Amino acid sequence: MARPRGNFGRSGGHYGGKVAIPLSLGVPRSRGPQSLLAELLSGSGAADGAGGALGPRVVPASALLDAVGTDAGRIIVGLDVDPARLRTREQASYEAVRFHLDCPADQLGDAVALRLPSPLAVFVTTDDSDELGLAETAQHLAGAGRIPGLASGHSVGEVADFLAVLAHADVGYVARARDTAEVLAILSGTVASLRGDDVRAALAAPDPAKLTSLIPEAAEAVREVLLGVEVTDPALVARELSDAGLR
């Protein structure tokens, strides 16, 4: 479903004409299923507890092979083998929320051409020799109906330009973060991109108070863009986000 359109503020990057969603700030109240953190965090650990912030586990596709008779449950499948190998009777049963794929920039066309039974998020690895940067690959993926992935380690400017693309795309994005501080930066940058605020400032100095003040409808709008964040220790990050007042 396309998100509401409208021009409410400044662009977060050099991709002009950004379309912003008016995210109202107000007195926090119970959000229930609209919580900003609902199933936000994923990793290889158990997906339970932490006030509902933990989403499906990330399970390598190779771990599903030769595991007939087991049930992996509701998971995110990390494609580390040819997805055709998952179409056998000798694998674990599972429900794939998404497939995640790491892909060099020169193989982006092959990634886009994959046909899978659940949405595909693609984390493109680039270097100085690649013609396409982070924002450009995000545009390409979004235009093809694939979910752009935001890996950790990019500059503030690169992330701001990436978010400027995703603020007016319909596919959303998924991210990877090293720690709670990076998760806060990702959330703050996403909010700023939708509000038309200074995205670079929000990424560089995230303000948890602005996140805790989001009304449920605004939190839901953010989560339509930011679909999930992979972290090494989801339970720890969930506790630290809770300690910062986020729910």
Tokens of 146: 């694939």
Q: Are 140 and 108 in contact (CB under 8 A)?
A: yes
**Burial group, residue 37, by CB count within 10 angstroms (0-12, 13-18, 19+):** buried
Mind listing the pLDDT tens digit of every residue in the chain (247 residues)?
344 433 323 333 333 333 333 343 333 334 344 689 999 999 986 555 556 899 999 999 999 998 888 999 999 999 999 999 988 778 899 999 999 999 999 899 999 999 999 999 999 987 765 678 899 999 999 999 999 999 999 999 999 999 999 988 999 999 999 999 999 999 999 999 999 999 999 999 999 999 999 999 999 999 999 999 999 999 999 999 999 999 8
- List the 226-230 sheet strands across, edge first: 41-42, 226-230, 173-176, 147-150, 120-125, 93-104, 71-78, 57-60
User: CA 209: distance to chain centroid?
Assistant: 21
CA angle 28, 34, 38 (to 5 degrees): 105
Helices of type H across 74-149? 108-113, 134-143
User: CA 2: distance to chain centroid?
Assistant: 17
Q: Which pTM was predicted?
A: 0.84
CA-CA distance, 85 to 61, in Å (whole number)? 9
CA-CA distance, 134 to 104, in Å (whole number)? 12
CA-CA distance, 10 to 88, in Å (whole number)? 50
